[in-house]
Structure 1
Amino acid sequence: MFLLLLALDVFCVIDVIQSREDEVRNLPKIAWLVLILLFPPIGSIAWLAAGRPQSGPARYSAYERAVPAYPEYDRPGRAAGLTPESDEEFLRRVRERAEEQRRRAAEEKKRREQLGDA
């Protein structure tokens, strides 16, 4: 029984050390390591139940990590032009919006000037 618990502790310590910091759940890696070393059977079981990284298709190695260079491009609802025509339509709407903002700003400036003169 002692050898089984020792093997579990060694396995868990190695697993903590090899896990990436951003994938470890609930506590920092160092806290899990201390917990496993100070409370061998309880810490090991807690690591396996609550700290170990989730396994599955979403887990990548350090070199295969799919992190976009510009995460704002992955926002839901972001419209990306699929054709040159849709890009042109988007640019046309941007220009129209900018012109409308310039017109409103000019009207506001003119109104402020008139209020200042009165």
Structure 2
Amino acid sequence: MLRYLPFLLVLALWIYAFVDCLNTPEEEVRHLPKVVWVIIILLFGEVLVGPLAWLITGKVRHAPANGSTPAERHRDAAERWVAPDDNPEFLKSLERDDPRSDG
């Protein structure tokens, strides 16, 4: 089983680069047209030249605007979100809409 590992890693990188190239908008592709990148990835995939070239130079990589990592952006969004039962405005709206309230 271990002897198949290098082949599987090359195949995984090849597939990842191919799908990433197909899903990348044309505006974010650098140096060559997207069709040429697909051909390079497919022709030179088994020797890793095509997929590595795509991953290193073919796509515009965007840095976060404020320098945060994706995990930090997710954590910040989670801190801003408030559950409905903890949101005072939501609870007040329930009291206004409740026909059983005395108000």
Place the TM-score, normalised by the shorter chain, in its bin.
Answer: 0.5 to 0.7
Shift of 1:57: 3.0
**TM-score, length-scaled by structure 1:** 0.47
CA contact (8 A) 1:12 1:36 kept: yes
Runs (4 or more) in structure 1 with deviation over 3 Å come to none
Alignment deviations for residues 55-103 of structure 1 (CA, whole Å, 9 cap, x no partner): 2236xxxxxxxxxxxxxxxxxxxxxxxxxxxxxxxxxxxxxxxxxxxxx
Matched, 1:36 2:41: yes
Q: Could you tell me which amino acid in structure 2 is paired with residue 6 of structure 1?
A: L
How far apart are the structure 1 equivalents of 2:33 and 2:58?
9
- Unaligned ranges ≥5, structure 2: 1-5, 66-103
RMSD over equivalenced CA pairs, Å: 1.2
The size of the alignment, in residue pairs, is: 58
Q: Could you tell me which amino acid in structure 2 is paired with residue 9 of structure 1?
A: W
Matched, 1:55 2:56: no
Shift of 1:53: 2.0
Using CA pairs below 8 Å that are at least 6 residues apart, which structure has the higher relative contact order? 2
CA contact (8 A) 1:9 1:36 kept: yes
- Unaligned ranges ≥5, structure 1: 59-118
How far apart are the structure 2 equivalents of 1:37 and 1:19?
16
- Higher gyration radius (CA): 1
